[in-house]
Amino acid sequence: MAINILLVDDSAVMRRLVKKTLKLSGVPIGRIAEAGNGQEALDILEKETFDLACLDVNMPVMNGAELLKNMRKKEETKDLPVIVVSTDNSPARVAQMSALGAPVVAKPFTPETLVDAFVSAIGG
């Protein structure tokens, strides 16, 4: 079954790189929706459902940490598998994200680390 993904990052180039990495991995990818900040992501999540969300942390308007806190408060997204892909993999950030149920993949990532995190998040 194809996996539908919400990809949130303020860099369009980084979104393309993540998409390309996932598509080349052989994991069956379905629909990919993209958002450039946390608020755009929440707007999309009001209307659509996904199997996984992939979140950046440093973004304008609403950052990834705020977005994830908001998602965990909502019935529809409180259990959605999430991976955080961020330049910030400090112990403080990793602990904050892990408390919200999301592993952190550090940028720059290798295709293997990203795909491994993706596969374990969807329970593969």
Partner 1 sequence: MTTPMLTQEELMNVATSVLEDLCFALVDEESDEDDFPVEATALVRFSGPRDGRLLIRTRGDVAGALVRDMMGEDEEVGDDDRRDGLGEIANVLCGNIVAQFGPVDSAFDLEAPRVGIGDAFPSDASPEVCATVCVDEGMIEIELSSGGAPVS
Write out the residues near partner 1 by the rule CB under 8 A. 10-14, 16-17, 20, 58-60, 63, 65, 86-93, 96, 107-108, 110
Closest CA to 54 of 17, 85, 95: 85
The minimum distance between CB 23 and Mg ion, in angstroms, equals 21
Which one of 17, 56, 65, 71 is in contact with Mg ion (CB under 5 A)?
56
Handedness of CA 63, 68, 71, 72 (dihedral sign): negative
Please report the DSSP string for 37-52 in residue order.
SHHHHHHHHHH---SE
**Is 40 an interacting residue with respect to Mg ion (CB under 5 A)?**
no
The minimum distance between CB 8 and Mg ion, in angstroms, equals 9
